[in-house]
């Protein structure tokens, strides 16, 4: 039987100064004046669409992503978060994260964001190498990235994340490790460490830059992981490192197949409806223009569908096995409404291949699975077993 998991809120702010050549997110280069007041109006009206489905459920985390949310003023973010609090029950000490990019933030804005209720910043550094930043299409330099980190700390943010990318065009192992070293010098308690991949429908996909070879990429990954381990950060997720207790609540809820409302242009949501015995996904209108026009009639939702039983197991394990933690089959049953026994053959195959360990090979509700080191190395193969 389905039960309601923890609930988060994702808010999409879609504008950027310029579209990066590797980016496949729903982001749009800003042309003209930022319509921040009208967009906040639309976000709050959009939020009311799904309120009846989540009424009374506490929200454990809020994430303002983009795009570049730091293009919005402190006044706009304050009005937005005040509107969210007026409509939703935020849990005590709810994590409220905002993405920001060096080069788009006047440094005193961090104080304004903190006063508005943001208690965690995720800063898109990517690399401290100014030449590499130019290749990536970023508008900041390495020095500006360092100034932005100092500004985040000076504003009083004890919790902040630094985004780094590796396997950059013509990057050496030493350069990748140097980025990690420079990031660690600022004492982050959370660090995202992503491999640059060439996504379809991006400039880099059409005009691929010279990337490091596979051996170099493996060496980079291992060298950077060793350095992060020595710094006391652990890889709790494939691309996320944190001190114990400093993991992102929002990220954890996503990977544990929790629920999340999604508002803003192109935002996705996943909601469990126990009374209707189904789980739904929704998607908002993608482009800012039709999304803002929907303010006239409330037609923000572009698509809504129930997740079929055949998709549920795959979606659950696709997310869950990204985390380096035990997977209770009781949680699987509660969050999908499926019986774990129906997947015994697939779990048995994963056990036989050494991709997981299990407390009980009978795979009863009380069984706990654990992804092995081999399972992490061959994560795609492990996830594919549940297709």
CA distances from 132 to 5, 175, 245 (A): 41, 10, 33
pLDDT value at 205 more than 90: no
Beta-ladder partners of 161: 122, 190
- Domain ranges in the chain are 7-254, 320-384
Nearest residue to 122 via CA among 146, 145, 100: 100
What's the Cα-to-Cα distance from 116 to each of 38, 67, 111, 156, 173, rounded to whole Å? 19, 20, 9, 13, 40
- Asked if 316 contacts 270 with a C-beta cutoff of 8 angstroms, the reply is no
Q: Is residue 123 a contact partner of residue 148, using CB atoms and an 8 Å limit?
A: yes
Residue 311 is inside which H or E element, if any? helix 309-320
Q: Does domain 7-254 have CATH number 3.40.50.300?
A: no
Residue percentage of the chain with pLDDT more than 70: 100
pLDDT in tens, 36-73: 999 999 999 999 999 999 999 999 999 999 999 999 99
The pTM (predicted TM-score) of the whole model is 0.96
Task: Dump pLDDT digits (tens) for 249-283.
Answer: 999 999 999 999 999 999 999 999 999 999 999 99
Indicate if the pLDDT at residue 303 is higher than 90: yes
Query: CA-to-CA distance for 284 and 291, rounded, in angstroms?
Result: 8
In the three-class reduction of DSSP (H, G, I as helix; E, B as strand; rest coil), residue 249 is classed as: helix
Q: What is the DSSP string of 362-381?
A: T--TT-EEEE-HHHHHTHHH
Identify the residue whose tokens are 């699975």: 369
- Order across the sheet with 356-358: list the strands: 327-328, 368-371, 356-358
Averaged pLDDT of the chain: 95
What pLDDT, on a 0 to 100 scale, did the predictor assign at position 123? 97
Alpha-carbon torsion (268, 61, 337, 310), positive or negative: positive
CA distance linking residue 257 with residue 269, whole number of Å:
12
Is the predicted pLDDT of residue 361 greater than 90, yes or no? no
Tokens of 112: 């304004």
The residue assigned the tokens 């609090």 is: 85
Q: Is the pLDDT of residue 164 over 90?
A: yes
Predicted local confidence at residue 356, as pLDDT: 96
* Residue carrying the six token digits 């849990």: 91
The answer, yes or no, to whether the previous bond of 67 is cis (omega within 30 of 0) is yes
Cβ atoms of residues 361 and 341 within 8 Å: no
179: Cβ contacts below 8 Å, ≥ 6 apart: 127, 128, 129, 164, 166
47, 10 Cβ separation under 8 angstroms: no
């Amino acid at each position: 039987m389905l039960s309601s998991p923890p609930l988060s809120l994702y808010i999409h702010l879609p504008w950027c100064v310029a579209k990066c050549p590797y980016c496949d997110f729903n982001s749009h280069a800003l042309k003209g004046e930022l319509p921040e007041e009208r967009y906040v109006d639309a976000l709050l009206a959009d939020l009311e669409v799904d309120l009846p489905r989540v009424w009374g459920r506490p929200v454990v985390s809020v994430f303002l992503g983009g795009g570049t949310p730091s293009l919005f003023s402190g006044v706009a973010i304050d009005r937005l978060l005040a509107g969210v609090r007026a409509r939703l029950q935020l849990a005590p000490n709810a994590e409220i994260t905002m993405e920001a990019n060096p080069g788009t933030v006047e440094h005193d804005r961090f104080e304004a964001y903190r006063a508005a209720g943001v208690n965690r910043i995720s800063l898109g550094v990517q690399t401290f190498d100014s030449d590499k930043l130019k290749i990536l299409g970023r508008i900041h330099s390495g020095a500006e990235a360092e100034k932005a980190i100092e500004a985040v700390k000076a504003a009083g943010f004890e919790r902040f994340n630094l985004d780094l990318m590796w396997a950059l065009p013509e990057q050496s192992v030493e350069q990748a490790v140097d980025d990690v070293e420079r990031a660690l010098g600022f004492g982050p308690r959370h660090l995202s460490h992503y491999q640059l991949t060439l996504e379809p429908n991006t400039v880099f996909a059409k005009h691929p830059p010279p990337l490091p070879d596979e051996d170099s990429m493996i060496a980079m990954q291992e060298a950077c992981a060793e350095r992060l381990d020595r710094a006391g950060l652990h890889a709790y997720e494939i691309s996320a490192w944190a001190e114990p207790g400093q993991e992102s609540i929002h990220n954890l809820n996503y990977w544990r197949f929790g629920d999340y409302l999604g508002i803003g242009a192109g935002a996705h949501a996943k909601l469990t409806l126990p009374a209707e015995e189904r789980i739904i996904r929704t998607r908002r209108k993608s482009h800012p223009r039709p999304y803002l026009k929907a303010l006239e009639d409330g037609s923000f939702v572009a698509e809504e569908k129930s997740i079929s039983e055949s998709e549920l197991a795959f979606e659950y394990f696709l997310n869950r096995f990204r985390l380096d933690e035990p997977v209770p089959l009781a949680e699987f049953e509660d969050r999908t409404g499926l019986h774990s026994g129906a997947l015994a053959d697939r779990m048995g195959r994963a056990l036989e291949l050494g991709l997981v360990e299990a407390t009980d090979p009978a795979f009863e509700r009380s069984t706990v699975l654990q992804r092995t080191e081999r399972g992490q190395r061959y994560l795609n193969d492990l996830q594919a077993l549940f297709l």
